[in-house]
Amino acid sequence: MSEAPNNQVLQIWQSQPVEGMKMSTEAIRLRAGKFERKISRWYLRETIAALVVIVAFSYFFAKTPQIPLRITWGLFIAGTIWVLVQLVRKGKPKTIPADMGRSNCLEFFRSELERQRDLIKDVWTWYLAPLVPGYVALNVSFAYPHPIGWVRWVLLDAFFVAVFVGTWKLNQRAARCLQRTIDELNAMEPSH
Amino acid sequence: MQESSISIDYLDVRAIEAIGVSEGGTIPAAASAQDELYHEAAATYGVALERLARAYEADPDLRRDLLQDIHVALWRSFQGFEGRCSLRTWIYRVAHNVGASHVVRQRRTRSEALVGLEELDRLPDANGREEMADRGHALDRLLGLIQRLKPLDRHVILSYLEGLDAASIGEITGLSPGNVATKIHRIKTVLARWFQQGGEAHE
């Protein structure tokens, strides 16, 4: 194979025009601070959203005299709190890690993919499942005292089951795709 | 760059506290060493980092953001630099890792599938060789080719284009020497098929 075209490509690559961007350390610190603020805003947004839901459910909880409905709203409140805690633990945006230079590209890329895989594989257990008891209780406590026709309930339940199962299946598929890439990376390690 | 001219008066207080700047405004020795390393890295490898950012992001605004993220990551990383590897290896690792994160993030919004080096030859574009007499066009084509690659293959081809040897590429990417050799061989084949020397006739 002739090296000449390759050498020319290398030359074209290395001599391409660049803007010559420079950042002062003050500007760097400012941008690093922006990352921290972005995360604080994320926490605030998620907490406010959860609080709005909790306040609404608490209102229904306080207003209803019926025990089954109270249990329903109580379960929804507990589920929402659980989701919020898990969201903060698992879903928060990542800051730029300070130890990036310690990991080679293969290790770093694999850990990024593993983090994403675990997040989406388990999403069912921490994002959807905590709200299921409340939904089941709503079915039981609302359908029986206020029958609006079993067909409507069946259709509504079928819709929610389809959404839950569909979300779960999509996530499992995405997790499998990530796992395939992780396996490819594992095969490239020096030990293999 | 506009941001580089921002006055110290407007610095984010928490960001300053995070690196331990005292009330009197003096920067501790550790932070000063970190700054020095960063300046050295930016002066020596700033241009290479710009080329690298270009290979990870085609959109000029997003690319500028990415390049700034690389600089922030580099600066932050020097808090923990202990000299166990060369400064060059450290810098390229950080830059490629930020680039890979960017690619992973962008995949959620961009539909075009990324390919490996071995798949590049099977792409329709590989049928036509680029005449390198038109350097601008050849560079665009090269960037288009790189931006279609999966992150790890992108790391290898970029390191190759920056003129790094196989051992350095292995140290940066974590690939085995055999894998690096195979990938470099593929890169040479792909480049030879996609580009031809200026003045030669098309096949």
Q: How many helices (H) and strands (E) does chain B have?
A: 9, 2
| A57 Cβ neighbours under 8 A, 6+ residues apart | A73, A76, A77, A80
Please indicate whether, in this complex, the C-beta atoms of B11 and A30 are within 8 angstroms of each other.
yes
Residues facing residue B195 across a β-bridge: B130
If one counts every other C-beta atom within 10 angstroms of the C-beta of residue A75, the result is 20
Please indicate whether, in this complex, the C-beta atoms of B69 and A26 are within 8 angstroms of each other.
no
pLDDT per residue as tens digits for the range B183-202 = 999 999 888 888 875 434 33
**Closest chain A C-alpha to B123 CA, distance in angstroms:** 19
A9 touches chain B (CB under 8 A): yes
Cβ-Cβ pairs closer than 8 A, A with B, add up to 202
The torsion angles phi and psi of A59, rounded to 5 degrees, stand at -60, -50
Q: Output B100-105 pairs: Cβ under 8 A, ≥24 positions apart.
A: B100/A105, B100/A108, B100/A109, B100/A112, B100/B151, B100/B152, B100/B155, B101/A112, B102/B56, B102/B57, B102/B66, B102/B69, B103/B56, B103/B151, B103/B154, B104/A109, B104/A112, B104/A113, B104/A116, B104/B151
pLDDT per residue as tens digits for the range A45-59 = 888 988 999 999 999
Q: What distance in Å separates the CA atoms of residue B65 and residue A192, rounded to the nearest whole number? A: 37
pLDDT per residue as tens digits for the range A4-28 = 667 889 999 999 998 888 888 889 8
A43: left (phi over 0), alpha (psi -120 to 50) or beta: alpha
Percent above pLDDT 70 for chain B: 72
Please indicate whether, in this complex, the C-beta atoms of A22 and B152 are within 8 angstroms of each other.
no
DSSP SS3 for B195: strand
Report pLDDT for B11. 33
- Chain B CB contacts of A103 under 8 Å are 93, 97, 174
**Closest chain A C-alpha to B142 CA, distance in angstroms:** 8
One-letter amino acid for residue B127 of the chain: N
ipTM above threshold 0.95: no
Alpha helical stretches, state H, B57-195: 60-77, 87-107, 117-120, 135-147, 151-161, 166-173, 177-194
A107 touches chain B (CB under 8 A): yes
Q: State the best of A1, A3, A7, A9 to mutate against chain B, taking most chain B CBs within 10 Å.
A: A9
Segment B34-63 shows an average pLDDT of: 94
- Chain B CB contacts of A35 under 8 Å are 72
Helix (H) or strand (E) holding B196: strand B195-196
Report pLDDT for B202. 37
Of the candidates B134, B131, B172, which has an alpha carbon nearest to the alpha carbon of residue B154? Answer: B172
Please indicate whether, in this complex, the C-beta atoms of A32 and B72 are within 8 angstroms of each other.
yes
- Chain B CB contacts of A36 under 8 Å are 12, 14-15, 18
Helix (H) or strand (E) holding A73: helix A67-90
Q: What distance in Å separates the CA atoms of residue A47 and residue A43, rounded to the nearest whole number? A: 6
Residue B73: which of A6, A96, A192 has the nearest Cβ? Answer: A96
Please indicate whether, in this complex, the C-beta atoms of B11 and A29 are within 8 angstroms of each other.
yes
Q: What distance in Å separates the CA atoms of residue A94 and residue B145, rounded to the nearest whole number? A: 30
- Chain A CB contacts of B151 under 8 Å are 105, 109
Of residues A20 and B22, which shows the higher confidence score? A20
Residue boundaries of the structural domains of chain A: 28-92+101-187
The CATH code that applies to domain B26-111 is 1.10.1740.10
Q: What distance in Å separates the CA atoms of residue B91 and residue B168, rounded to the nearest whole number? A: 12
Residues facing residue B131 across a β-bridge: B196
Q: What does the mean pLDDT of chain B come to?
A: 79
Residue A105: which of B47, B73, B96 has the nearest Cβ? Answer: B96
**Closest chain B C-alpha to A34 CA, distance in angstroms:** 8
**Closest chain A C-alpha to B121 CA, distance in angstroms:** 16
Instruction: For the full predicted model, state whether its pTM sits above 0.80.
Output: no
A112 touches chain B (CB under 8 A): yes
State chain A's maximal CA–CA distance in angstroms: 85
pLDDT per residue as tens digits for the range B107-117 = 766 667 788 88
- In chain A, which among 151-190 make CB contacts under 8 A with chain B? 185, 188-190
Please indicate whether, in this complex, the C-beta atoms of A23 and B96 are within 8 angstroms of each other.
no
Strands B195-196 and B130-131: parallel
DSSP SS3 for A122: coil
pLDDT per residue as tens digits for the range A123-173 = 778 878 898 899 888 888 776 666 667 777 788 888 888 988 888 888 889
- What is the token pair recorded at B84? 């166990």
Structural contact between residues A77 and A57, judged by C-beta atoms closer than 8 angstroms: yes
The torsion angles phi and psi of B179, rounded to 5 degrees, stand at -65, -40
The CATH code that applies to domain B114-203 is 1.10.10
Report pLDDT for B183. 93
Q: How confident is the model at residue B65 (pLDDT cuts 50, 70, 90)?
A: very high
